[in-house]
Every structure is written in C-alpha cells, then in structure tokens.
Amino acid sequence: MFEEKLQAQTTEFANGERPHTSKPKGYFITATGTDVGKTFVTALLVKKWRDSGIDAGYYKAALSGAEFRDGKWVAGDADYVKRIANLPDTQEQLVSYVYKEAVSPHLAAQKEGNPVELSKVQADFKAACDRHEFIFAEGSGGIICPIRYDDKKIFLVDIMKELGLPLLIVTTASLGSINACVLTVEYARARNLPIRGIIVNRYGSSGNLEMENDNIRMMQDMTGLEILAKIKDGDSDLGVDVF
C-alpha cells in the first residue's frame, strides 16, 4: 500500500512540483527540523544567485532567539545571510518580527507581545519583492512550526501559502533523515504546497558515507523529488548552478 501510494505521488508530483513555465520569483526555504542548517544553506543560495548576476534578496517573517550585540538586539539569521551575501537591506527590511527568547515564535510572542499579523508579512514581503528581482524566504524551525497561537492561530504553512513560493526542503543525510524528510514532504503535499526539491546539508559529517548516500537515494526515491545540492560543513559555495 505504502509503495503504491509513493509511486502514485511520484507520478503526480514529479512535474507539478517543479516551477511553473514562468520562472518563480523566489523560493521558500524550510527544513526537516530546527538546527538542520537552513540559514547556512539560505546564505549560500542568496550568494550564488547574486554572484550569478541575479538581484536576489532575503526575507523572514518571524525570528526568535535574537542576539544582543553592541547595545541592540540583532536578528542573527538575517544578519548572517546579509553578511555572507553582501545584502544592502536593513534588519527591519529583512525580518518582520524579531523576538528575544529562543523558543517557538508563538511562545515568544505570548511572552514578549507583538504577535505576527499576516497583513504585515504580506506587506513586508511585497516590499522585498519590489527591492529585488528574486527572493529567498526563510521559514522558522520546521514546516509545522506554530507562528502565532492565541485568539488567532497562524502556522508556518499559512505564511508559505501567503507568499506563494515553491519550497526548497533542507535536510541532512544523517541517521533518521529519511523519516524526517519524507514526513516533511508528505505534510507539504497534503496542503498543496509546491516543492522544487531537496538540499542535503552537512553531507559527510556523520563519517558514514555509505549510510548517507543510501539515505539520499531513499529520500529521492520515496519522494520523487530532485536532490538539488549536497553541501558540506564549511562550504563557501553552493556547488551547483542556479536552478
């Protein structure tokens, strides 16, 4: 049953999850979990596009776990991408909501105030698109991350749908990655979100390349998605051309 379902999904999504006939205006970067390295990957993506002559930018709706530097709170993820990709944008242009505590955005907002409003996310994303010809939007945590949970309930998937960008899913190839990657893909597909492909981060870091290569093959076979890049720790380039 499971194999038949996967085969049907592979047939159904192999073309449908590629970008449409016109090139997308950007990608939405999500991951199989927290600390998979999607900010590191996003920085390399923005840098690669800009180095290739494309005016790529960055946007993040909500960031928790800001860093206190030189007397002010800094959105660390956005600041990292800004430095690596040499972006001219200000922090306020890069991130709509910045929370101090390193917890899920919904909890940070409950504790600190200033909960996420989709209208601001929409406006800030539009402004980013107006400044740049291509936008990499980075998610918070994994694909099921709650963004707001009070009288309004907003999940990361709601932001994905609002922005309307194909997904890039960042994963590792470590032990357990097959399960995490396939579940992420299945969750996205159940919500009719287009997926461009998978990026493997920290390739080779386990020290067991036989396992990692098999995990990568299984993730590709079980999802029907393309492995777009394999990135090692410390890489300063994406290692592939723009896609």
Instruction: Determine the Cα–Cα distance for residues 29 and 42; give it in Å rounded to an integer.
Output: 7
Instruction: Determine the Cα–Cα distance for residues 198 and 130; give it in Å rounded to an integer.
Output: 27
Instruction: Determine the Cα–Cα distance for residues 67 and 47; give it in Å rounded to an integer.
Output: 23
Residue 161 burial (10 A CB sphere; 0-12, 13-18, 19+): middle
Q: Phi/psi of residue 31, each to 5°?
A: -145, 170
60 as an active site residue: the answer is yes
Among the options 38, 47, 48, 60, which is catalytic? 60
- What token pair was written down for 124? 């800030």
Q: Phi/psi of residue 117, each to 5°?
A: -115, 130
Active site residues: 60
